[in-house]
Structure 1
Amino acid sequence: MLPPLTHLKETPSQTAGPYVHIGLAPGAAGFAIYETELGQDIAGPEAKGQRIRIEGQVFDGTGTPLKDVLIETWQANADGIYAHPETPDRAPSDGQKRVEPGFRGWGRAISDFDTGGWQFETVKPGSVPGRNGRIMAPHINLWIVARGINVGLNTRLYFEDEQDVNDADPVLALIEQTHRRSTLLARRKKPSDAGHKDLSLVYRFDIHLQGSDETVFFDI
C-alpha cells in the first residue's frame, strides 16, 4: 500500500546542463561521433542571397556570459520561403524552385566554453507572410537552452538596417513597451570590426536573460 501523498518527497529537478550538448552537439562536448553533425550547415554555398554572419553572447541577470549555451535557428531563405513541405507555394522572383539546393534554414550554434561567444553563418532571410497575409520583416527565429534554463526560450532576431519593414512588422508591433523592441535588433558591425574577409555583412546580437536590457521572449 502506498503511503499518503503528504508523505511523498518531491522529485529533485534538473535544469538543462552538459547532457544537452552530449545529445545534440556531441562534437562540442568532445565526442567525435558523427562526421557531420546536424545543424552546422544552415545555408550551403549553393544557397543564393546575401551571406551574413551572426555573432553574440547570452548574458544572465548579473551581466555574466553563459558559457554552455545551445541555440537553434530557423529562418526563411532570401525569397522569404521556409524549407518546409507545408510552406504554401509562392513563386520566387527569379522563377526557380521554392527552396533552392543547399538551403536548410535550420541550424545550431554552440557557445565557446571559455568565452560564451557563439556565431553562425547563413544568408539574410527575406520578408515572409504572417497571419492574415501581413508581411513580417526579415528575421531569424531562435530557441535558447543552457544550464539554469528549465524551459527553452524563444525569441527572434531582426536586423537594424531593415527599419522600414521593421516598423510595419506585426510581431514587433505586439510589444507594447516600444523601447524594448530594440532588444530584438541585431546591430550591423563596421567592416573594420567584422574581421572576416569573405563576408560583407556581420551582425552582433546579444541576448539578456534578465535585467534592464532583458531580451523580449515569446510564449509559443
Structure 2
Amino acid sequence: MTTERSVELTPVSQPATTPSQTVGPFFALPGGLPWPDGPDLLPPHAPDAVMLRGRLSDGAGEPVPDGLIEIWQSDERGRFAHPDDPREQATDFRGFGRCATGPDGEFWFRTVKPAPLPTPAGATEAPHINVTVLARGLLDRVVTRIYFPDDPMANATDPVLSAVDPARRDTLVATATADGFRFDIRLQGDDETIFFAV
C-alpha cells in the first residue's frame, strides 16, 4: 500500500546570471604561439612585396585585441614553399605568416599576391590566401580565404567562391590600397566573414 504525500511547490525566483568568462588561450601574451618570421612572408625590401592589412572584430564590431591570424599561400608563380611541392620554388618566400592582433584589432602581413592554382579536378582556383583565425570566445579555429578585387573573371569561375551565396561573396574579397590590400575579418553579426568547414 502506498501513501501519497502532498508536495507544495514554491515558485523559484529567477536565478542570478553567472558571470561570463572569456575562453582562452590568449595569444597576445608573451610566448603564446611564437613564429620566428612573424608576419613577414618574404624579406622586407623584396621587390614584389605587398602589404596585407586588416582588422579583426567581434559581433558588435568591436576590435578583438588578443586574436591571432595565420595565412598560408602560394607565391606569385603558384608555387608553395613546402616539400610536397616538387616544382622550383622561390628561395626567399616562406608561404606562411602569423600575426597577433593589436589593441585596435589590427594585423598585417608582408607578402606577395599569389597566382591562380590548378585543382585536382582540372579547374582553376582564383588567386587567394588561406586564413586561420584564433581568438577569445572561439573553441576552435575558423578558416576563411582572401580573394583579390582585380581578378573579377577568375573570381567568378573559382569553384570555392562561386559556391558562396552571391550576396555574401564580398566578405571574402579584399580592397586595394596604395601599397597592397586590406581585408577586415568580422567574427559574427552584420557582414560576418564567410568561414569554411575544413
> In which range does the TM-score fall when normalised by the shorter chain?
0.7 to 0.9
Which of structures 1 and 2 has the bigger CA Rg? 2
Change (3 A) 1:155 1:19: closer
Residue 15 of structure 1, aligned match among 7, 10, 23: 23
Question: Which residue does 2:161 correspond to in 1?
Answer: 172
Quote the offset at 1:45 in angstroms.
5.5
* RMSD after superposition: 2.1
Question: Which residue does 2:78 correspond to in 1?
Answer: 80
Instruction: Give the Cα separation in 1 of the matches to 2:186 and 2:65.
Output: 13
Please, which runs of 5 or more residues in structure 1 have no aligned partner? 1-12, 26-35, 90-97, 192-200
Quote the offset at 1:46 in angstroms.
8.2
Please identify which structure carries the higher helix content.
Answer: 1
Question: Which residue does 1:125 correspond to in 2?
Answer: 114
Letter of the 1:179 partner, please give it: A
Question: Which residue does 2:181 correspond to in 1?
Answer: 203
- The reply on whether 1:182 has 2:160 as its aligned counterpart is no
Instruction: Give the Cα separation in 1 of the matches to 2:75 and 2:120.
Output: 19
Change (3 A) 1:19 1:39: closer
Q: Matched residue of 2:51: which SS?
A: strand
- The reply on whether 1:110 has 2:100 as its aligned counterpart is yes
Residue 59 of structure 1, aligned match among 42, 57, 60: 57
Instruction: Give the Cα separation in 2 of the matches to 1:17 and 1:147.
Output: 7
Question: Which residue does 2:190 correspond to in 1?
Answer: 212
Instruction: Give the Cα separation in 2 of the matches to 1:181 and 1:131.
Output: 23
Aligned residues: 177
Question: Which residue does 2:150 correspond to in 1?
Answer: 161
Instruction: Give the Cα separation in 2 of the matches to 1:184 and 1:42.
Output: 21
Please, which runs of 5 or more residues in structure 2 have no aligned partner? 1-20
Q: Which runs of 4+ in 1 moved over 4 A?
A: 45-48
Q: Is the 8 A contact 1:16 1:145 kept in 2?
A: no
Instruction: Give the Cα separation in 1 of the matches to 2:81 and 2:63.
Output: 32
Change (3 A) 1:19 1:107: closer
